[in-house]
Structure 1
């Protein structure tokens, strides 16, 4: 928050001015009271007293008007400062999330990550804003009141001083247990909101399985728990608050008793009594406000714990320096457009081992081992390579490691053993942007974003021209259906492309990959979720996309496998065979078994075929899921 010092300065100046203006009223009223008493006693002429009282009233009006204006000026600076705080914290949080490795998100629930943006940052921001708007004026008020009270009668100031350490000590006794309950409440809220986001995002599944009531009950249960915890938490807080307030009431009783007795004894005039009573009242307000301030501080501390835990996570080793800067202390308010354009650099040149340009594998797995959890590898000593314009297919049972190899090639995870090279470069030498800039990918789920069709096609190249977008849409076999929409390329497709069919979404994804124009293409079962007609339309686009690129295919149709240059069969994370379709057809390995199973009509063989993600008619069965999280 250091960069917000101008706002803090203005808030402090406004607080100081409002406190001084607030103190004008007790002194003016004290003077008016003494004048009136003097006039009643016959010591001051009525005409003089009248002029004095009118002047005092005008002074009170001027002080109140000035107080109103300056208070609102300070409030404006406080409000803007609060929003700037929220901007800074939110920017840092989002930049941090974008810089974290895929493994972090594998451990999180999406709704919980979103909840932190709301609960943690909002709670922290609101507290800091209230703190800035109230704390400085509160402290200044206390200091000035103590000084004036000590000037008139030092034991009075001493009694006022006792209130604050007593109150803070009793609050400290309350806090530890209160914080434990608040943490429990936050856990329930995060879990409920995380599930809420999942259900809303997949409401069609919930309805199709008639699970609405079960989901509602689960959601209600978490919030019912928060109510039960709040009952215990609030009971404890308010019980302790009784002791705090009772102690403060006793102190104020002593203060008022001293004031009244001193006035009766003639030590104070009536005007001075009025002045000191008003000053004591001014000191009482900050003392009672401490309860609210401490409560707000505890909520902000407990609520922001997960935010700071996320901010302490280690970023991807090769993440963008701009992201690192944005997630740290002096990050930009808005990333410069030039930095956005430069974020995806040109792919490095293909080099030989000795650094000379030439022919070398476009990507190469060399004795690669990897595990999502330490000591539990799911990929074991995998070695294979793909040359320029080659097509390589990965074949194996579900959980065999196919999608994990794709994750490694995309740099979502790093090998724990061996070497992975792309265009002759060890991926450890490449930034995340360089590596991913060399790889285009079409997933089984098209993963589109809300917005227009044009924006989704140009997602990898926002600066693409209309002509370039039109060209790739035609090549992806998507232009015809796009033009059938009333708004054409400016059609809004809704969240995750919900207004499009599965085949239409995949053709948009193919066009998006074409426009990226990366030298390596990954097809992660890109047509497995489509019907036959939609698949033919998408497959035509994929064939066009593969031209001139090195392609890695996770296959689910034998017709697709038959056209590749090399098949790599995987068995429990290990390479079983490598060869052309013709070579492996007669080798007796996994590919040969697939050919046999496809030709078989027995139920046992069909069940075995489905374990590879195949149907006997060439269709697919579900997703390919490895032993570990998926991208």
Structure 2
């Protein structure tokens, strides 16, 4: 219940809705309570009129009109309360969803390393749906039930204290029996939610990579895995349903026995002349009104339990420690003391898991305008260095500096504004070409977007779309080729205009023609910038200023291509492997993420390390 109270406490701006719902509930209860009195009075009038002991038709007509007015008012108030409840629920869904999304956007990268995107999305959908459904049902019925219950107890006490005592004992007894089911029910519901979250996470992952699934003929195995996880919820549901319904049977049995006693008291007192027939009818209707809130309590508790179980995972996310946004220490200049184009790694250690280091004592720097290439085996820490430079992870030891400042002491937004990245996977979003190019500068003008596309060699294919820059490209840019997507990514980085540029195997997945077009755009992009290059071909780094080689997560050598070509280190080894036609040597080359630089579809391609590429040529 603390989870629900926490939700209510964090949505205090909804108090006008709460107040309106309470007011309409109070008035609804009043109109509902008027009905038994009118029916009771009408019963006495009918008995008197039929027995010739008084009563008039006019009185009966007035009572019938009174019933109509009461029912109409109740109908209007019910719908006013329903409208407020529905609107409040929609507003609550917005608040909780936006708060959840905002929290996710502020979490460190480590959180997402351990979570499937489908699980995160499914958790939001389930939690928000269950919480809002509960609050909607509670807001539309709880206050009415509460007021009705109190009023029935008071009115019953005025007519017959034994009836009031039995009702007063019945309500808490029923609530106690209902609460007894909560602990077991919530534990089983939590286990079911875990299975569903995993299943939905895998579902999202499979749909997002459906081409891979189909190409490896994994449809049946993925379906079987999905079915097994949902099938696991069946046994839990059996246990849950058995527990809930056995307890519900006990509750209803207690309720039936209690109302047996209530009806016996009512009938016997009426038979002994304590009540008139009209009063008996009045009290019978009041007892019926009292029974409805009691039986409805099971539904509200059931909905509340689902909301508590769902909100637990919601608040687990909200309780995560956010990414440190960081501000500069007092007295520290807001602008960099050195040129922002410079960056450095100084004695950096890092591991994604404790005790499993990826980087060890890494030290190198880039002066303004330099082009630095990283070379090393796949999994050797090259992309990890990019992650550290972007501030996605803090180093375990050492310093990463940008413009002479420790990036862990800089606002992360400032760090990431100053570093542009072109990844191997361009990671486009659904929407238009223009929106994707302007993703880093949403305020950019059409002219600026067009100029960035021209410099990235993207304008050629964009102009072939009937809609031009307004063309929709589908999820993750599915309607574009690999080369087209990469040119959009280059245009996006050009428009961002960050002083430091990272090229993380930016052309590795392209054919020769597309690669040449993208490289032309990259040359435009690298102009007047400091560039860190992770390349998949030796030809693309042959003309950089310096090469940093990594071996087992540590810096092995630093030098110019000419120096390292004769040093006997990793770079010299790669040059020798590339010159070899031996299959074993080619396999060894692939272990470094390097190909021979030959495209089988290009008869002019040669494995020449002096060919122009990403560099100074």
TM-score (norm 2): 0.93
* Gaps in structure 2 of 5+ consecutive residues: 1-10, 328-332, 601-617
Residue 29 of structure 2 corresponds to which residue in structure 1?
19
Residue 32 of structure 1 corresponds to which residue in structure 2?
42
SS of aligned partner of 1:304? helix
Residue 139 of structure 1 corresponds to which residue in structure 2?
146
CA distance in 1 between partners of 2:598 and 2:385 (Å): 24
Q: What is the CA distance between 1:319 and its match in structure 2?
A: 6.8
Residue 487 of structure 1 corresponds to which residue in structure 2?
467
Q: What is the CA distance between 1:55 and its match in structure 2?
A: 0.5
Give the conservation status (yes or no) of the 8 Å contact 1:183–1:302.
Answer: yes
Residue 295 of structure 2 corresponds to which residue in structure 1?
288
SS of aligned partner of 2:180? helix
Q: What is the CA distance between 1:65 and its match in structure 2?
A: 0.7
Q: 1:523 to 1:51 in 2, by over 3 A?
A: same
Deviation string, structure 1 residues 461-486 (Cα, Å, up to 9, x no partner): 11111111111111001101110111
Aligned residues: 586
Q: 1:570 to 1:469 in 2, by over 3 A?
A: same
Residue 584 of structure 1 corresponds to which residue in structure 2?
564
TM-score (norm 1): 0.91
Q: What is the CA distance between 1:279 and its match in structure 2?
A: 0.4
Q: What is the CA distance between 1:39 and its match in structure 2?
A: 2.2
Residue 330 of structure 1 corresponds to which residue in structure 2?
none
Residue 388 of structure 1 corresponds to which residue in structure 2?
368
Q: 1:348 to 1:437 in 2, by over 3 A?
A: farther
Q: What is the CA distance between 1:361 and its match in structure 2?
A: 6.7
* Gaps in structure 1 of 5+ consecutive residues: 321-346, 353-358, 621-631
Q: What is the CA distance between 1:74 and its match in structure 2?
A: 1.1
Moved over 4 A (4+): none
CA distance in 2 between partners of 1:319 and 1:297 (Å): 39
SS of aligned partner of 1:459? helix
Aligned counterpart in structure 1 of residue 394 of structure 2, from 397, 414, 432: 414
CA distance in 2 between partners of 1:143 and 1:618 (Å): 85
Q: What is the CA distance between 1:348 and its match in structure 2?
A: 6.0
Residues 1:278 and 2:285 aligned together: yes
CA distance in 1 between partners of 2:304 and 2:598 (Å): 62
Aligned counterpart in structure 2 of residue 44 of structure 1, from 54, 59, 71: 54
CA distance in 2 between partners of 1:319 and 1:478 (Å): 37
Q: 1:147 to 1:395 in 2, by over 3 A?
A: same
More displaced 10-residue stretch of structure 1: 591-600 or 371-380: 371-380
CA distance in 1 between partners of 2:598 and 2:181 (Å): 67
Give the conservation status (yes or no) of the 8 Å contact 2:93–2:128.
Answer: yes
SS of aligned partner of 1:54? helix
Residues 1:437 and 2:437 aligned together: no
More displaced 10-residue stretch of structure 1: 151-160 or 98-107: 151-160
Residue 4 of structure 2 corresponds to which residue in structure 1?
none
CA distance in 2 between partners of 1:307 and 1:460 (Å): 30
CA distance in 2 between partners of 1:557 and 1:569 (Å): 14
Deviation string, structure 1 residues 381-409 (Cα, Å, up to 9, x no partner): 11111011110001000111000000000
Residue 212 of structure 1 corresponds to which residue in structure 2?
219
Deviation string, structure 1 residues 103-126 (Cα, Å, up to 9, x no partner): 000010110000012111111111
CA distance in 1 between partners of 2:528 and 2:293 (Å): 73
SS of aligned partner of 1:34? helix
CA distance in 1 between partners of 2:595 and 2:421 (Å): 24
Deviation string, structure 1 residues 247-288 (Cα, Å, up to 9, x no partner): 000000000000000000001111110010000000100000
Aligned counterpart in structure 1 of residue 110 of structure 2, from 99, 103, 106: 103
CA distance in 1 between partners of 2:142 and 2:346 (Å): 62
Mapping 1:36-75, distance limit 5 Å = 36-44=46-54, 49-75=56-82
Aligned counterpart in structure 1 of residue 318 of structure 2, from 304, 311, 322: 311
Q: Kindly report the root-mean-square deviation, in angstroms, between the aligned alpha carbons of the 2 structures.
A: 1.6
Aligned counterpart in structure 1 of residue 133 of structure 2, from 105, 126, 139: 126
Q: What is the CA distance between 1:618 and its match in structure 2?
A: 5.1
CA distance in 2 between partners of 1:439 and 1:502 (Å): 23
Aligned counterpart in structure 2 of residue 498 of structure 1, from 478, 481, 484: 478
Deviation string, structure 1 residues 487-511 (Cα, Å, up to 9, x no partner): 1111100000000000000000000
